[in-house]
Each structure stands twice: as C-alpha cells, then as structure tokens.
Amino acid sequence: MDKLALPPDEIRALGEAVLEEAARYYESLDSRPVLQPATSPALRAALSEPLPRDGASFASLLETLRDVVIRYSRHSAHPRFFGYVSSPGTPVASLGAMLEAALAVNVTCWRSAPAGTELEHVTVNWLKEMLGYPASAGGLLVSGGSMANFAGLAVARSAKAPGNVLRDGLAGTPRMRVYVSGEGHFSIAKAAGMLGLGEANVRQVKTNRRLEIDLGDLDRMVEEDAAAGHLPFCVVANAGATATGAFDPIGELAVFTRQRGLWLHVDAAYGGFAALAPSTRHLFPAIAQADSVALDPHKWLYQPIGCGCVLYRDPAAARAAFSHSAEYTRTIGLERDEAFAFWDYGPELSRPFRALDLWLSIKYIGAARLAEAIENNMACARYFERLVQESADFEMLAPAGLSIFCFRYAPPGYQGDLDALNERILLDLQRAGGSYLSNARVHGKFALRGCVLNYRTTRRDMEILLEDVRRAVPA
C-alpha cells in the first residue's frame, strides 16, 4: 500500500481511529492532571530515534501519541487550567482542522484560494461586527496577537514617518516614539526592534491604581519627546492586558491621539471579544476610532493556536505599508475583487486556511453561545475574587480584570518573604496537577495569576482552585 496516496477505505479507517482518540481525550479531561511532571531527558529518550527509513504502523503511532505526547502535554482544555491566556479549543474546530489539512489551501490571494479568500473576508467582517469596528475597515487573519501588533505598528510607522521608510529606511528620521503602559505586552517592544524603531523608543507610561494608562504621564512624555526633537507617532492601548486584564480608557486616548496627530493601536488580543458580553460591552464603543486593532480568536473565541487578526480602519494605509509585487505574483486577467492579495495587507505570503476553523465554529456554535461562555468566564473570575476577599489568608493584588485574577497567599502576621513563599506555592501547585496558575508582578509584588478562558469551567472549579492552593502552602 502506498502510504502517500492512501485509498479512501484506509483514510476512513485512520480517521475513525483519530476521532475515537480525540473523543476519548475530551472525555478524560476532568479525570487527568492538568500537567504530568516530566523531564526533558526522559521525553527525549521516549521520542528520539534515527530517521525512519520505512514507515511504521498507524496504530503504533497512535500509541506513542497517547502514551507520550498526550500524557505529557499541558492540557489547556482542562477546566482548571488557569495559566496564561490559553484557549481550550473546541471539538468542532478540531474536526475543521482535518478538512483544512486535507484541502492544503495556501490563502495568499483570491487567485490561489477563491473560496478561502471569500471565507476569510466573511469571518473578518464578523469580527468587526462583534467589536463594533467600522464595516469599511480592512483586516486579515495572522498567526497571533504578536504578529497582529507587529502589523499594526508597521502600518503606523509607514503612515506617520516623515519620509518613505520602506524605500529609504529610518536613517535621518527623528527617533520615532511609541507609548504603552507598563501593562503592555512585550510584543510591542519586540515589534519596535524588528521594525528598526528600536526598543529604547518604546516609552513605558505609568499606570493608575487600576493599572490603566495614566493620561497625565502620557501627555508629559509626548510633550517632552516633541520638545527634544523626537517624533511621537503611536499610542498602544490595552483592551485587556495580558497580566492583569487592565482596560485602558480608549475613548480618552482616541481624543488625545486625534488632537496630536498620533496613531492609536489597540491591543485587544485577549480582551477584544469581551465586546460580545453584556456586562463589558460598555467598554468598547470608542474602539471604532482606533487606527488599528489586534485580536486573537485563538483566545476568547476558543480557536486552535495560530489564529490572530489585525484590523485597519483605513485599508489604504495597510496597502501603503505592505504592498509589493513580483512577476511570479502578478495577477493576469483578473480585476477588482478577484485581484485581491492578502500580502498587500500583512507580512506573510504563504498563509494557512485559518478562516475555515473560525467560520465553522462561529456558524456551528453561534455568537449568542460564545457570548454566554465569555460572560460565564468573567463571572467565575469575579466569584474567585470574592472567595479571596472573604478568606483570612489570601489577598487580591488587583481587581479582577475581565477574566483574569491576581492574588497571593498572605497569612496574618507573616514576617517572611511573601514573594518567595508564593513562588514556592506556585511550583508545588503546578506539580500537583489538580489546578494550574501562572505568575505576574503587580505593584511590585509577586502574584499568583489565573485566567478563566474555558467554557467547561464552573464556580465549583474556582472553589477547588482555592483548596488546591491551600494544599500547596508549605507546612
């Protein structure tokens, strides 16, 4: 049998085996640990082998996947995985991934993927509608929030630079300054470095007690830089900061940037889809004034990793930053919509069919059920905040922001190093496997940090989490 060109009956047999394994995995989530401790040498020993010359049986491969890969993965789909901002994925998206791989579509442009291109336009339009972003805006799916921030900053640089930086570079240009609060994601500084702006030109603005950007400090910095001969050009607002869920006042920042001729980019990679939830919809009306927005469907729309999105209020600004041509990409015999190319709006040429899973999920699940799940995630975080506030030995280090909570163990009268104590608690909690938290630093203090991003999580899981943390406290 040719294992490259499998006959249909063999494809069906392999597919049934994989679907059974996937169903068994979802069925086992509540009973398996979030993380099974392992070491790199042990896993390397279990997986390493010389380059296979001849193929192995699929049953043996499934056995390796089951006994090594699945067993020793960190399970984001577990209802008590609260580490980072990590989606559990959905069963329907995993089925879509099979079709995506079978089609092997390269969504570079309409010519390469007519249906794929139109499906991406449809799904991006749905995301704009969820957010309340202008229908005339442009956008495309990218690999994640970091790439969306990179693309937004690249367009801002091109739009606000005094010359043609794409052709001539930044030599002779004043130092172009970006402003973001101390809660901003590190991908902003990383993007500035890759774009030639320099990480040193990303200025960190103070925050208030709620960890929102301090408008007074921002104004001072912009005036200071302009007086020094630098070029303030972009403000990045957090719509749900990664560490704490902090949400900057987008409306006030929109007024500020418009008055000073600055680009407003909103990093809504984590928090953007809270716009679907009734309790947080009021945070979003001004986002329509942002020049660009970063989103991550692979966070709060529960998509598999690798599905981010960047939106541009003015699509022409994106084309000015990214449009390029070569003979091997020249469209022949196509005009208007059929001549559309995604490479004119972002940094990628080859692009996977990201829209398939997203379209399938939204169509199958519906926006109403997604909004309900997001609302429940935030309710669970608020419930945990209340549990902490009612306890005698824990304290919140910041208000619960969207579905993120930051707290620490702080028993009355404790005279030791609380940072060191909570670091030890975190490690012991993660190794125990019942619940999983990550860490952050809030107002200079080490925090146990959790993010509820799972439609399976219930209030009972929040109670179990606090019980698990107590069990991890050193005797």
> Per-residue pLDDT averaged across 270-294, rounded?
98
User: Residue 337: pLDDT band by 50, 70, 90 thresholds?
Assistant: confident
Give the start-end residues of each E strand in 198-316.
202-205, 231-238, 263-268, 292-295, 308-312
pLDDT digit string, tens, across residues 379-429: 999 999 999 999 999 999 999 999 999 999 999 999 999 999 999 999 999
Q: Is the pLDDT of residue 326 over 80?
A: no
Beta bridge partner(s), residue 265 = 236, 292
pLDDT of 324 reads: 85
pLDDT digit string, tens, across residues 195-253: 999 999 999 999 999 999 999 999 999 999 999 999 999 999 999 999 999 999 999 99
pLDDT digit string, tens, across residues 307-320: 999 999 999 999 99
In this structure, whether the domain defined by 105-365 belongs to CATH 3.40.640.10 is answered with yes
pLDDT of 366 reads: 98
pLDDT of 330 reads: 66
Distance between CA atoms of residues 140 and 347, nearest Å: 11
> Per-residue pLDDT averaged across 11-25, rounded?
96
pLDDT digit string, tens, across residues 432-468: 999 999 999 999 999 999 999 999 999 999 999 999 9
pLDDT of 73 reads: 97
Distance between CA atoms of residues 357 and 383, nearest Å: 32
Percent of the chain with pLDDT over 90: 95
> Per-residue pLDDT averaged across 78-106, rounded?
95
pLDDT of 475 reads: 84
User: Residue 338: pLDDT band by 50, 70, 90 thresholds?
Assistant: confident
For the chain, what is the mean pLDDT?
96
Which tokens is 70 given?
Answer: 């699945």
Domain spans of the chain, in order of start: 105-365, 368-472
Q: Give the DSSP H/E element, type plus range, for residue 260.
A: helix 250-260
Exposure of 470 in the CB half-sphere (CA atoms within 13 A)? 13
Q: Is the pLDDT of residue 18 over 70?
A: yes
The contacts of residue 339 (CB under 8 Å, 6+ apart) are 109, 110, 111, 331
Give the right CATH number for 368-472 from 3.40.50.300, 3.90.1150.170, 3.30.450.270, 3.50.7.10. Answer: 3.90.1150.170
Distance between CA atoms of residues 315 and 402, nearest Å: 30
pLDDT of 329 reads: 64
**What is the secondary structure of 302-333 as a DSSP string?**
-PPSS-EEEEESSHHHHHHHH----GGG---S
Number of CB atoms found within 10 A of residue 453's CB:
26
Q: Is the pLDDT of residue 335 over 80?
A: no
User: Residue 188: pLDDT band by 50, 70, 90 thresholds?
Assistant: very high
Q: Is the pLDDT of residue 332 over 90?
A: no
pLDDT digit string, tens, across residues 394-406: 999 999 999 999 9
pLDDT of 327 reads: 60
pLDDT of 435 reads: 98
Contact 271, 245 (CB under 8 A): yes
Q: Is the pLDDT of residue 340 over 90?
A: yes
